[in-house]
Every structure is written in C-alpha cells, then in structure tokens.
Amino acid sequence: MSIGLFTDKRRQPTDAEIRQAVGPKLSLWEAFIGHIREKYPAEEDFKFLYGKNYGWARRFRIKGQLLTSLYPTNGGFTVQINLSPDAIEKAQNMKLTQNARLAIECANPYPEGRWLFIPVESKSDLQSVQQLLALRVENKNLLKELSG
C-alpha cells in the first residue's frame, strides 16, 4: 500500500482532484499549508516522490533541504517529517497524539534518523505535526542557514 493516493508518475493530479481526495480533512490540509507558508520561508512544489510506494506530494524545502511533504490520501492526508536521532529523542518526550507517537515507533531507525509518516485526522494531530516540524527546523538549523 502506498503512502499517497496518487501513484501514477505520468499524470500529476489537478488541484480539484487533490481537494476531492482530501475531502473531509481539507480544512486541516489548508490550515497546515497556511501555517507553513506563514512561518517558514520555504520553496513549495508538487512532485512525484520516491516512486509508486509514495506518490505525488506537496513538498516544502528550505535551502534545498526537505522541510516536509504532504501526501493526499483517500479522505485525508499524511505528513512526512524526517527527524535526526537527537530530534527523535526530544520528540519522544513531547506531548503528542497517538498518530504521531505511532509514526515515531513504527519508523525504521537509520543512522541519519527516521522518516515519520503521520496521518492527520484531527486538530490535535495538526498541532503534533506543527510541533514536530518546529523540532526539525530547530534541529537542522534551517532558518539560521538563511541568514548566514
């Protein structure tokens, strides 16, 4: 099963198709994108990422480094946030929703950290992914690089 709903590399989904797919979670999708645009000076695109097991995603990057990716799913969306081992340790001590905690527990540990895939199903999940995104930015010094 793929992370995202749209897995045909040859056909980029339209905005209308994305909105329809996200469906009842569209307000959360829009709130998270709005939060990112307001808080971070990120470049944004919609790209086919990592092959058919992942699919098309709205991707945000700062200075070429991945900030986060949002994968439309059937009736919602999943957020990808990559965290270093140090950031994972901090995240495990944060107050997070069950979806965020499960993503941390289920993610394969690599020397460079873990790729978290968090389904956003509620405002609480949205708050958790916002906290984890801030942790990524802080841990990777992404905003400091802009001024340096």
> Domain containing 71 — which CATH number?
3.90.1150
For residue 40, being part of any structural domain is answered with: yes
For residue 45, being part of any structural domain is answered with: yes
For residue 77, being part of any structural domain is answered with: yes
Q: What is the pLDDT of residues 32-46, one digit of tens each?
A: 999 999 999 999 999
Range 12-27 average pLDDT: 98
For residue 3, being part of any structural domain is answered with: no
Q: What is the pLDDT of residues 49-93, one digit of tens each?
A: 998 999 999 999 998 999 999 999 999 999 999 999 999 999 999
| pLDDT at residue 148 is higher than 50 | no
Q: What is the DSSP letter of 52?
A: T
| pLDDT at residue 141 is higher than 90 | no
Query: What residue type is assigned to position 53 of the chain?
Result: N
| Predicted model pTM | 0.93
Q: 4 falls in which pLDDT band (50, 70, 90)?
A: very high
**What counts of helices (H) and strands (E) characterise the chain?**
6, 5
Instruction: Please tell me the total count of domains within the chain.
Output: 1
Q: Which is higher by pLDDT, 43 or 142?
A: 43
What mean pLDDT value characterizes the chain? Answer: 95
Q: How many CB atoms sit inside 10 A of residue 145's CB?
A: 12
Could you tell me which of 29, 46, 42, 39 has the C-alpha nearest to residue 125? 29
For residue 112, being part of any structural domain is answered with: yes
d(CA 34, CA 51): 27
Sheet containing 76-83: order of strands: 43-49, 55-62, 65-73, 76-83, 114-120
**Residue ranges making up the domain that contains 27:** 15-143
For residue 7, being part of any structural domain is answered with: no
For residue 139, being part of any structural domain is answered with: yes
Range 92-119 average pLDDT: 96
For residue 104, being part of any structural domain is answered with: yes
